[in-house]
Amino acid sequence: MKNASKIIFSSLLILFFSLLSFTAQQQPAPVKASQVKGTIYEVKGGRGANCGFIIGEKEVLVIDAKMDKESAELMIAEVKKLTSNPIKYLVLTHSDGDHVNGLVGFSKGINIVAHHQTRKHMDEAFKEPEQRLYLPNQTFSKKLKLYLGNKVIKLFHFGPAHTNGDVVVYFPDEKMAFLGDLLFLGRDPLIHRHKNGSSFGLVKTLKAVLELDADTFVHGHGDIAQRSDIEGVIKSLEEKQTKIKALIEEGKSLEDIKKIFKVEDRPARPGRRRWLSLVEVIYLEITEKK
């Protein structure tokens, strides 16, 4: 191929793939349930985070609610394909919109369970009267056991991490857990400082997760994880924290440290909160302690 036609060909290729990803962004993947273990399913696709559910003898417990009514309804349809048992519980892993805004797609009167700080965040965010009908009606601080017939489901809050209201949903019989946004793979962990999240807390929480007798982890925005994935996240997070701490002790400023880590700040989108890089979050946490 001559150079000019090579360039045209590669430009066309780039155009084709950008169009493809643009269409993919516009059209979310179809909502689909897939079995994780036993009667536990993960629900991917639609708008919002990965969710899940467990089919009990008489009822169903759902984990997280997708981001809008339509995606929630499609998730409920997936449940109905597998069982006629009614959805009795909905457990929220935290308060972010992509996990809770689909609540309005569920029938009123189901038990909505969350950490008490998550309820507080939702109480502030849910302005519409329709939404307010879906504020959690059962909250807890550290741990809670739910029973579906004989099956026990353990909910844990190990302290502030992604937010200050994160819940780990643990299924001891199946040795698996739903982690919400406590885990991100292939990108930096996300810490919401405006919801009192903490990177040091995240390390503590992920270590507590590894104390559970579990080998399979569903999380909000990626494929199912193993213990080694969590170990890797802890390791890289601790390395970053140690390095930033040393740089602060050397007298480096936040700007210096951002340059060392090649962090580029993005301007806040209109009406949106400024995005904080993990480096800045860690820096703020360390300097606050002094």
Mark residues 132-171: x for contact with Zn ion by CB under 5 A, - for none: ----------------------------------------
Number of residues engaging Zn ion in binding (CB under 5 A): 2
Cβ atoms of residues 157 and 166 within 8 Å: yes
**Whole-angstrom distance, CA of residue 180 vs CA of residue 160:** 13
Of 42, 68, 96, 280, which one interacts with Zn ion (CB under 5 A)?
A: 96
Q: Which is nearer to Zn ion, 49 or 60 (CB)?
A: 49
**Whole-angstrom distance, CA of residue 142 vs CA of residue 128:** 29
Asked if residue 181 binds Zn ion (CB under 5 A), the reply is yes
Residue 76 C-beta: closest distance to Zn ion, Å: 22
Candidates 12-20, 175-183, 211-219, 276-284; binding stretch for Zn ion (CB under 5 A) = 175-183
Q: Which is nearer to Zn ion, 62 or 257 (CB)?
A: 62
Q: Which is nearer to Zn ion, 81 or 187 (CB)?
A: 187
Residue 189 C-beta: closest distance to Zn ion, Å: 11
Residue 13 C-beta: closest distance to Zn ion, Å: 35
Q: Which is nearer to Zn ion, 78 or 96 (CB)?
A: 96
Candidates 53-61, 178-186, 199-207, 238-246; binding stretch for Zn ion (CB under 5 A) = 178-186
Residue 98 C-beta: closest distance to Zn ion, Å: 7
Q: Which is nearer to Zn ion, 181 or 280 (CB)?
A: 181
Q: Which is nearer to Zn ion, 78 or 181 (CB)?
A: 181
DSSP-assigned letters across all residues of the chain: --HHHHHHHHHHHHHHHHHHHHHHHHSPPPPEEEEEETTEEEEE-SSSS-EEEEE-SS-EEEE---SSHHHHHHHHHHHHHH--SPEEEEE-S---HHHHGGGGGSPTT-EEEEEHHHHHHHHHH--SHHHHTTS-SEEESSEEEEEETTEEEEEE--SSSSSSS--EEEETTTTEEE-TTS--SSS-----GGGT--HHHHHHHHHHHHHSS--EEE-TTSS-B-HHHHHHHHHHHHHHHHHHHHHHHTT--HHHHHHHTT----PPPTTSPPP--HHHHHHHHHHHH-
CA 89 to chain centre: 19
Q: Which is nearer to Zn ion, 174 or 188 (CB)?
A: 188
Residue 96 C-beta: closest distance to Zn ion, Å: 3
**Whole-angstrom distance, CA of residue 74 vs CA of residue 53:** 13
Asked if residue 64 binds Zn ion (CB under 5 A), the reply is no
Residue 109 C-beta: closest distance to Zn ion, Å: 26
**Whole-angstrom distance, CA of residue 94 vs CA of residue 127:** 18
Q: Which is nearer to Zn ion, 166 or 280 (CB)?
A: 166
Residue 154 C-beta: closest distance to Zn ion, Å: 21
> What's the token pair of residue 182?
């406590």
Residue 257 C-beta: closest distance to Zn ion, Å: 25
Q: Which residues bind Zn ion (CB under 5 A)?
A: 96, 181
